[in-house]
Every structure is written in C-alpha cells, then in structure tokens.
Structure 1
Amino acid sequence: MGSDGSLLSKYTTIFLVVSGYWIVSISTVFVNKTLLSHIELDAPMFINLSQTLVTALICFGKKTLSRMYPQRFQFPEPNIWDPQTIRQILPVSIMFTTMIATNNLCLKYVSVAFYYIGRSLTTIFNVLLTYFILGERTSKRCMVCCAIIVSGFWLGVDQEHFAGSLSIPGTIFGIVGSFSLSYFSILTKKTLPKVNGEIWLLQYANNVYASILFLPLILINGELYTVLTYPRLDTLFFWAILLGGGLCGFMIGFFTSLQIKYTSALTHNISGTAKACAQTVLATYWYQETKSFTWWLSNMVILAGSAAYARIKQIDMEKKHLESPSYTKV
C-alpha cells in the first residue's frame, strides 16, 4: 500500500509539474507575441533582458528572505560569483540566453500558430546531440519517427510559403531555437547534480548571467535608441505587460527545470511539442486565423511522429532497464 501511495504521489507530482509547464508556457508565448507585435516595440533583446532581470530579482528576493527568516525560507548557499559555480553553470546560461533570444526572434517574425511548426525540430536535435555528446545510438524505429517529424515540418513550411506568409528569418530562428532548447535540456540535466539538484540556484545564476549577456546584444542590435524613443514608455499598460512577461519568464524557467528534474530531457522536449500543438489550436481561435487542411495535416504529422518517438523511446528504455545486470525480479 505504501509503495502504491508513493507511486501515486510521484505521478501526481509529475502531472502537476507538466500541467503547470503547459499553462505558463502558453501564457508566455501569447504575452511575448503581444510585446513583440501588438505594442510595436521592436526590441526583442530588451524584452528578453526585462524577463531575465525580473527572474533574477525574484530569486534575489527569496535569497534575502532566507537570510532574514531562515526558518521560513530556504535558499542554496553557493555564491553565484564563485569561479567554480560560474564554470559549472555558464555553459547552461549561454545556451539559455541563445534559447530565449531565438525564441522571441522567431515569434517576432511568425504567427503564434506557425511558431509550433517552426520549432518542431527539437526532437531531431535531441537525437543528434545525444549521439554526439553522450555517444548513444538511436533505434531504426526512432529514426523513422524523426523522418516523419521532418516531413511534417517541410509540409508546414511549404503551406506557409503557398499562403504567402512564410518568413525565412522566423523559420531560421525557429530551427536555431529548437537546437538550443534541446542542448539546454541536456546541459541542465547534466548540471543539476553538480549543484545538488538546486533548481533555485540554477535559476538565479542562469538569469543573472543571461542578463549580463543580453547587455551587449542590446547594443549590437541597436535597441537602446529604440527603447529610449518608444512613445509608450511612460504608460502603465506597457510596464504592466512588460512585468507580466517577466513573471511568465520566471515561471517558465522554474517549471522547465522542474519538468526536466522530475522526468527527463526527452520527456521535456516531447511535452513541449505536445503543448505547442494545443497552443496552435488556441492561437488560430484567438487570432481568428483560417488554415488549410494540408496545413493542419502538417501539425498532425509532427505530433504523430513525436508521440510515436516518445513511446518507442519509453519501450526501449524499459527493455534496457530489464536487461540491466542490476535489475532483479521480485
């Protein structure tokens, strides 16, 4: 009974974490699209900076409270400016910065509906990076699923081109975003044990380092003048939605780390793909977009390929576990 209760508690935790990730992630995409397209602020790096700063300030606030009220609040002790901590976390932070930068740049150029297709190659990059970094080969059945996902991606791109709404920069940023998400997931999974599984510490350091990395990107992208001359800079609505985007950025980072911690990098990527499908349906309704049957078919092909890949990987991992020398039958 105790074992069943523990198993139920585990699955309940995973369900709540994945559900929270879905809700926060979808909200973040819609808020970012509003910031990038509907209030006419052409400064994606500045928007990214605002989100990482809000997250860093929230983490700093909790760290301060943990020192004032150690019985109520806990925060990991390691100093984020310690050279060893920097060496451990900086590679994750660089990939984190690349991921959120390319995500917003992709969203700037494409609709929320196409955003799913544009970033659907995460699973493909996960297979490639797992092979080149971890030396793990993928089964032929998984390779077939990857081919299905790629065909769905090309079909979706072709439909956007046919409709005259294809954005080449947006598609390229989507591909880079898929790569960086996959790499970030693998690095996060490898780095968490080095910081004793402290999600708050990784979240804090990631966003502080990313905030520093975004400063030169803002200057290089010429966004400083754009922000200073923005006509709505003194309006309450602008700051409210900017703060809302920052809070969403904090929550998505937190739930991403939780989802990777309680599942795996692969499950996180699959969850993100399935979430994006629901996001696409919601976006077409919200923005009143009409899509062709073939366009919807491309989404279904990607989803089917991703779902099949996840199931095959699950079966392969269970088989590998059963064949492990450490496994003993009860």
Structure 2
Amino acid sequence: MNDGTVYIASVVITYWVVSISMVYLNKVLMSHEGISIPAPLFVTWYQCVITVVICWLAGLCGQRARKADEYAPVAVSENGAQQSARKPSFFAQFPKAEYLVGQARQIFPLSLVFVGMITFNNLCLKWVEVSFYNVARSLTIVFNVFFSRVLLGIPTSFKTILCLGVVIIGFLIGSHGELNFSVLGTCAGVMSSLFVSLNSIFTKKVLPVVDDNHWKLTFYNNVNASFLFLPLIFIFEGDVIKGSQDQLTSGLFWSAMCVAGFFGFSIGIVTV
C-alpha cells in the first residue's frame, strides 16, 4: 500500500470518526434529559461562534508560520532548484481572519442557505433517532441533480433518473420501517438535504470572492451566521433558554458545547 492510499484512507477514517462523534454529541446536547437544552438554534449558534474563534486563532498562527517559513534555511536540490529545508507548518494554510463588509455582503446569500442547512440538520437530529438520521437526510443527491438541472443547466441522463428513483424508493422504505417515525423530523431531514444541495452550488459561486480560499469562506460564513441566528434565537428560543439555568451553569454542558464546536471545525479541516 503506497503513501497516497494510506493518506486517503486516514482522511476518510478521520472524517467518519469526527462526523459520527459530532452526531452523537449534538444528539446529547439537544435531547438528553438533564444535560441538554431543547434549543437547537442556540446550540448551532454557539458552534458557529466557536468556529469563528478557531479561524481567528488559526489565522494568527498562520501569520507567524508564514513569517517563520520566510526565514527558514533554504536547501538546494540535485537539479539546482531551491526549496525550503523544512516542511511547511500545518497552520500556514490558514489566512488572516479579516471581516470586510464588501466581501461579507457578497457571501450573505450563501450564509442564508448555510443557516437553513445547519438549522434543519439539527432539528432533524433532535426529532429523530440517530439510526434514522442518515435516512431522513438521504435525498441530498436527488436535490443535487435537480438544482444542477434547474440552476446550472446540466443535463440529466436516463440512467441517472433511474438511480434517483432507487434512492427515493429506499427513502420511502426506510421511513415506513422506522419504529419511532417523526413527521417533523423527516420533513426537517428533507429540508436539510435541500439546503445541503443549495449550499454546495452557492459555495462554488462565491468562492472566487475570497480567492478560492475555503478557510476565508468558512470565517465569513460563520460570522454572518452568528449574527443571523441571534434574532431567531430571541424569537423562538428565548423562553426555553431562560428556563434552562441549571444547564447554563453546568460545566459539563459547556464542555460538551465546546467539543461539539471543535468537531464542527475539524470536519472542515478534513474536508479541505
């Protein structure tokens, strides 16, 4: 097994470990009696704030790493080419976290889709069992093909339509066989799938605004989302939060919230 295969396998395994851990942790945060707060918008908002803070800190580390690389000793290869004598720092990939209003305004439509995606994702997780969670969100590929056709004009082959039919039938069978079926949870899963598809399309459109840098986009997206969530939390979850003083003063709750936020950021690292 060569190094490339090992690297790809390690990335896939890491992604699954982090994503599955985050699913279970979010489930605990939103539906575990005694620990959770039944306020998915508030939980999601805090995770966005954690991501913003990590992006900002990583950007500072990135600045220092790039300066250190500038003064690193230079080695000369056999063919005469100059190259750094040491490997680039992990943090060198992170740009300085700057919030420019002009760029933020251009990214704002994506942020609206992003808020819808993670809101419905967490609502689905709150209302359905973890075992049914992925089934409820399995229509993403269907929406991908639909929006690619409608928004991007990409033609759809007959074989693709047949495959989508299999996916839809599997979704219906999985829904029918779920013992603790939730209509609200399933609808939230379908809406989450819709917004996941839109998010991928809008991401491709706005990436040039941030010089095709995913970390800049992550920073802008989460800053915008942090502001967008505040009025929603105040309107829909204000009373719930006021009545959850025990959880808000619990070190266990805030530790779980911070770990979940870190896992959310970690998924971005593995993906990028």
Instruction: Give TM-score scaled by structure 1 length.
Output: 0.69
Corresponding residue for residue 89 of structure 1? 107
- Counterpart-to-counterpart distance in 1, 2:50 and 2:96: 21
Letter in 1 for 2:159: R
Letter in 2 for 1:98: G
Corresponding residue for residue 136 of structure 1? 154
CA offset digits 1:74-120 (Å, max 9, x no partner)? 4435842231x124322222211111110000011000001111000
Corresponding residue for residue 211 of structure 1? 226
The answer as to whether partners of 1:56 and 1:204 remain within 8 angstroms in 2 is yes
- Secondary structure of the 1:151 match is helix
1:176 aligns with 2:191: yes
The answer as to whether partners of 2:63 and 2:96 remain within 8 angstroms in 1 is no
The answer as to whether partners of 1:120 and 1:178 remain within 8 angstroms in 2 is yes
After TM superposition, give the deviation of residue 183 of structure 1 in Å: 1.2
- Counterpart-to-counterpart distance in 2, 1:149 and 1:134: 22
Corresponding residue for residue 118 of structure 2? 100
Matches for 1:229-244 after TM superposition, within 5 Å: 229-230=243-244, 231-244=246-259
After TM superposition, give the deviation of residue 66 of structure 1 in Å: 4.2
Which one of 71, 74, 78 corresponds to residue 67 of structure 2?
Answer: 71
Corresponding residue for residue 228 of structure 1? 242
- Secondary structure of the 2:67 match is coil
CA offset digits 1:115-156 (Å, max 9, x no partner)? 111000000000001001110111111110100000011111
Corresponding residue for residue 57 of structure 1? 53
CA offset digits 1:42-81 (Å, max 9, x no partner)? 1100000110000000111123344566525544358422
The answer as to whether partners of 1:24 and 1:251 remain within 8 angstroms in 2 is yes
- CA change 1:236–1:121 in 2 (3 A) is same
CA offset digits 1:161-211 (Å, max 9, x no partner)? xx3x21111011000000111111222233334422212111111111111
- Counterpart-to-counterpart distance in 2, 1:47 and 1:95: 18
After TM superposition, give the deviation of residue 32 of structure 1 in Å: 0.3
1:253 aligns with 2:253: no
The answer as to whether partners of 1:118 and 1:171 remain within 8 angstroms in 2 is yes
- Counterpart-to-counterpart distance in 1, 2:110 and 2:152: 16
Query: How many equivalent pairs are there?
Result: 245
The answer as to whether partners of 1:28 and 1:252 remain within 8 angstroms in 2 is no
Range that drifts further, 64-73 or 87-96: 64-73
- Counterpart-to-counterpart distance in 2, 1:139 and 1:95: 28
- Counterpart-to-counterpart distance in 2, 1:82 and 1:242: 29
Corresponding residue for residue 85 of structure 2? none
Corresponding residue for residue 195 of structure 1? 210
5+ residue gaps, structure 1, are: 259-330
- CA change 1:182–1:103 in 2 (3 A) is same
Q: CA RMSD in A?
A: 2.1
The answer as to whether partners of 1:195 and 1:202 remain within 8 angstroms in 2 is yes
- CA change 1:159–1:219 in 2 (3 A) is same
Corresponding residue for residue 328 of structure 1? none
5+ residue gaps, structure 2, are: 69-90
- Secondary structure of the 1:134 match is coil
Letter in 2 for 1:112: V
Corresponding residue for residue 319 of structure 1? none
- Counterpart-to-counterpart distance in 1, 2:9 and 2:201: 21
Corresponding residue for residue 80 of structure 1? 99
Which structure is higher in helix share? Answer: 1
- Counterpart-to-counterpart distance in 2, 1:254 and 1:212: 23
